[in-house]
Amino acid sequence: MRILEWRVPPYDNGTYIVFDDRRDALAIDPSMGERVLIDAVKEQGLHLVEILNTHGHPDHIYGNAAVKEATRARLAIHRLDEYRLGPKRPPASISLPIPPSEADDLFDEGPLNYVADLVLTALHTPGHTEGSTCFYFERESVLFSGDVLFRGNTGRWDLPGGDREQMERSLERVIGLPPNTKVYPGHGASTTIAAELPNLRRMREQGVLPGIRV
């Protein structure tokens, strides 16, 4: 499995392509990096099978429509965040109009079999949004954490659809993965599970996440 990664302005979003030896690929969170993602698919000779959204916030879904149109890939999101793809989404802080996109596939929890040689599991990790999801590649010890876990921080829970107690439970679940798991977040630089344990303990002690068990 190979990973291409970009940190996309203006919100430092993590945008990713994962592909196998046959060059069948998945895209994770096009964000506002649709142009670099589309160019990479062409330059690398990839067959983009599926676009995966970790959640439905505008800065993560902005490029969905353009990537779908350019590559004919399908789009998947957790069913609880599907409404965020359309006009029923909560008000956004992004001033630009958000191109509408339509999900082809909805998932809940468990294995996702979009590409035969890319074995991944959807971990439903609510707290940032109702349908926030991490994508876990157990064989490669890789986690795409969306806006649940960042390097040195966690996702917010004070936006519409967020919930602190759910975030605490989701973080407990994520932090229970093997310590060497490489974490590719929705914003900022990559990290590991082991590197984030001290920060989560500090957040508990400071009362930021008082109910987290780490």
pLDDT per residue of the chain (214 residues) written in tens, 0 to 9: 999 999 999 999 999 999 999 999 999 999 999 999 999 999 999 999 999 999 999 999 999 999 999 999 999 999 999 999 987 777 766 667 888 999 999 999 999 999 989 999 999 999 999 999 999 999 999 999 999 999 999 999 999 999 999 999 999 999 999 999 999 999 999 999 999 999 999 999 999 999 999 8
Q: What is the pLDDT of residue 54?
A: 99
| Angle at alpha carbon of residue 85, lines to 136 and 89, rounded to 5° | 115
On whether residue 17 sits in a domain, the answer given is yes
Q: What is the pLDDT of residue 87?
A: 76
On whether residue 32 sits in a domain, the answer given is yes
On whether residue 95 sits in a domain, the answer given is no
Q: Are 148 and 167 in contact (CB under 8 A)?
A: yes
On whether residue 192 sits in a domain, the answer given is yes
In the chain, how many domains are there?
A: 1
58 phi and psi angles, rounded to 5 deg: -55, -35
Among 160, 6, 146, CA closest to 77: 146
Q: What is the pLDDT of residue 22?
A: 96
Q: What is the pLDDT of residue 156?
A: 96
On whether residue 212 sits in a domain, the answer given is no
Q: What is the pLDDT of residue 183?
A: 99
Tokens 């609510």 sit on residue? 126
Beta bridge partners of 50: 26, 74
Task: Report the CATH number at residue 123.
Answer: 3.60.15.10
On whether residue 40 sits in a domain, the answer given is yes
Q: Which domain holds residue 34?
A: 2-89+100-205
Q: What is the pLDDT of residue 98?
A: 87
